[in-house]
Amino acid sequence: MHYLDNAATTKVDLQVADHIRKVMEQSFANPSSLYKPGLDSELILRQSRAKVASAMGCTPAEVYFTGCGTESNNIAILGAVEARKEWADHIICTGYEHPSVQQPIEKLQQQGWKVTLVTPNEQGVIQPEQLADLVTSKTALVTAMQVNNETGAILDVQKLSKLVKEKNARTFVHVDGVQGWLRLPIKLSATQIDSYAVSGHKIHAPKGIGALYLKKNSNIIPPFLGGGQEKGIRPGTENLPYIAGLAMAAEMMQKNMPQRKKQIAHCNELLRSQLENMDGIVLNSPQDAAPEVLNFSVMGIRSETMLHFLEQKEVYVSSGSACSKGAASHTLAAMGLPSQRIDSALRVSFSKDSTQEDVQALLEGLAEGMASLARVK
């Protein structure tokens, strides 16, 4: 099997899976319980929070565990806007966000908030200045994706937060870091970012666990009510085994970052160089995109058709965001690309498990598909 859809989800690392099972079996007590087994669980919770904080470059007190990146995005966006509704009426957002950001913003717009969307250029790039220049005295929130999940385009979020705060210190800056965390170096404590969302299943931890960085003294009104866990930001009994798994995965990713980056860059460069020499293929990812993601169009062959052809060769890629369930890419549409190019787009995404053999299998499958599949005019 040649799995090249790691932006959708990564394979759980076996060491992480073993650690999760151990915690499930041996540390099953509720971390909020006051007897010894509960205190032992609380210790694992504290240790895990410290490991995730290290991988984020912040203090443990600024890390909150959630169910996923989507939940982290929702908590930050809805909570920040609610806390600023007395003086603000404006939100700024990039025009190629993940549905977990796009849809809460659309809901807020329906409630009367003024929303300014900033679209990328034809290369998929947005500059921090494009967002910051739009900030006014009534801007409650600027939200942006660090690494675009479909093209790998990178936004300098550290510079963005600095520019936004210079315009309005009260404006909340949220970053969807799901595709950027532990791929790009960042020390959140050295930035003016207010919140940063991450997800476990993008870094070889399980689905169903995420985290949210909230800068100390950041003002949000949490959208949930409950027992007060996670200091009320995300109430509900903590999923201790998966939290421990997230912490181990983050620790391993942080430790192995140089080797992993070199391996992924090699796979990306090999694929990109070969695609550039194939007639009928157009690259959609910018040259300086994060190497984990490479988006391209096989002109004249619909994405779904090529995707299923490659599936027969046990080569697995995607046509865009997994959360869009095969719908046409709103990222490529926001870039202003023609419909034929959008309809024929494929996304390849790498992880630490990706190999040169995976790339070669994909290239062979593409060549065979381009030679045999009927083209759409």
Which helix H or strand E contains 163, and what residues bound it? helix 157-167
Residue 109 makes CB contacts below 8 A (sequence gap 6+) with 91, 115
Q: For the CA atoms of 191, 192, 198, 204, what is the dihedral angle to 10 degrees?
A: 0
String of DSSP letters for 196-215: EEEEGGGTTS-TT-EEEEE-
Task: Provide the 10 A C-beta neighbour count for residue 75.
Answer: 26
- Cα distance between residue 321 and residue 147, in whole Å: 13
Cβ 282 vs Cβ 259: under 8 Å: no
User: Would you tell me how many other CB atoms lie within 10 Å of the CB of residue 371?
Assistant: 7
Residue of 58, 93, 267, 323 with catalytic role:
323
Crossing angle for the helix pair 240-255 and 14-26, nearest 10 degrees?
150
Amino acid making up residue 220: I
Instruction: Say which residues have a Cβ less than 8 Å from residue 169's Cβ, sequence separation at least 6.
Output: none
Which of 174, 170, 216, 181 has the alpha carbon at shortest distance from 196? 174
User: Residue 288 gets which letter from DSSP?
Assistant: T
- The SS3 of residue 184 is strand
Catalytic residue check, 93 = no
Cα dihedral 95/98/102/104 (nearest 10):
-150
Known catalytic residues are: 323
